[in-house]
Homo-oligomer: A and B are copies of this chain.
Amino acid sequence: MPETAIQDHYPDDYAQCYGCGRLNDKGLHVRSFYDGEVSTCRFTPRDEHLAIRGIVYGGLVASIIDCHATGTAAAAATLAAGDEISPETVRRFVTAHLGVDFLAPTPAGVELECRAVCSEVKARKVVVEVELRAGEKLTARAKVICVEAPPELFENA
């Protein structure tokens, strides 16, 4: 597993994201590590990230999955094109569809682990399948359809 997160390679104009941007002071700072097959992210929710007492907020679960998936898509598409992942080469992906099945309550006070694999990798579309666990407990499963970000998105970035 690489020591550098996918998001550490994002250029500055792609690093403002509330979910995963290293330049967003108030953000969640999701970080994803991809070994070319499986992409992993560990995240400890903040005390305020509750649905009810003892249970993690589903919107946070969806947010972690979302950023982990787009990061994984960026990495997979970059590698599939034969490039190393770097700020100059890393592809930019956004979410077209986020589908999350909440299988069980996600307990608070536990580090969460997301594991993702890509079931489809094309230059402009990557499908990412994600499982989220709290300890050993599988609590959410997701399918995320990521598409290449149109360059005009970054005109004001």
Q: Footprint of B on A, CB under 8 Å?
A: 13-14, 16-19, 21, 24-27, 46, 48-55, 57-60, 62-64, 66-67, 94-102, 105, 153-154, 156-157
Report the nearest B residue to A149, measured CB to CB: B52
Q: Give the residue of B26, B52, B67 whose beta carbon is less than 8 angstroms from that of A153.
A: B52
Number of this chain's copies in the assembly equals 2
Report the nearest B residue to A56, measured CB to CB: B18
Q: Are A156 and B54 in contact (CB under 8 A)?
A: yes
Which 5 A-B pairs give the minimum distances between C-beta atoms?
A: A59-B63, A26-B48, A18-B57, A54-B156, A53-B157
Q: Are B67 and A59 in contact (CB under 8 A)?
A: yes
Kindly state the separation between the CA atoms of A100 and B142 in the bound complex, as whole angstroms.
Answer: 12
Known: A94-B58, A96-B102, A98-B58. A24 touches B52 (CB 8 A): no
